[in-house]
A = this chain, B = another copy of it.
Amino acid sequence: MYRIGELAKLCEVKADTLRFYEKHGLLAPSSRSDSGYRLYNESDAERLRFILRAKAVGFTLAEITELLSIELDKSNWACADVKGLVDSKLAQVNEKISELNHFQVSLQRLSDACCGGPESAEHCSILEALESNTDNIKCENHAHHHDKSQYTKNCQSKG
């Protein structure tokens, strides 16, 4: 039997997190001591590890609640159900990745267009890009070139 702090340390989470999981129905200690301390057994610890593994692949606690309800009643669920949860998560993750890739490309383009030097930002290509309606930064056209070598350094990749 583990007390809350022991299980927390064992699984590298905080005691607060275990209380939070309990409050939200993910994991309750199987017993209490006479003085009211939570007592977790090995099976509780296994359940916690299940939760943490599911978190490690990106599931939210709400989704983990679903997974746990399947896990505890496997024979009444099909592989299709389980795979459905995984595939739906996968789709969400892919969507998010593609949004972030979009950000990544845009930010990289902004970064590449700016000399990053100590010169005044009055003609900074980044600010100019955010001011104008184009989301394209044309490195060869920009009005910003306080320093020839810097300019060349930053713009050579685009001609």
Contact = CB atoms under 8 A, between A and B. Distances in A.
Interface of A: 46, 49-50, 53-54, 56-58, 67, 70-71, 74-75, 77-84, 86-87, 89-90, 93-94, 96-97, 100-101, 103-104, 106-108, 110-111, 114-122, 124, 126-127, 129-131, 133, 135, 144
Contacts of A108: 90
Given A74-B122, A75-B120, A130-B53, A100 B107 contact: no
A135 B56 contact: yes
Contacts of A82: 114, 121, 124, 126-127
Copies assembled: 2
A141 B121 CA distance: 60
A12 to B, nearest CB: 14
Given A58-B106, A79-B114, A80-B116, A127 B90 contact: no
A126 B100 CA distance: 27
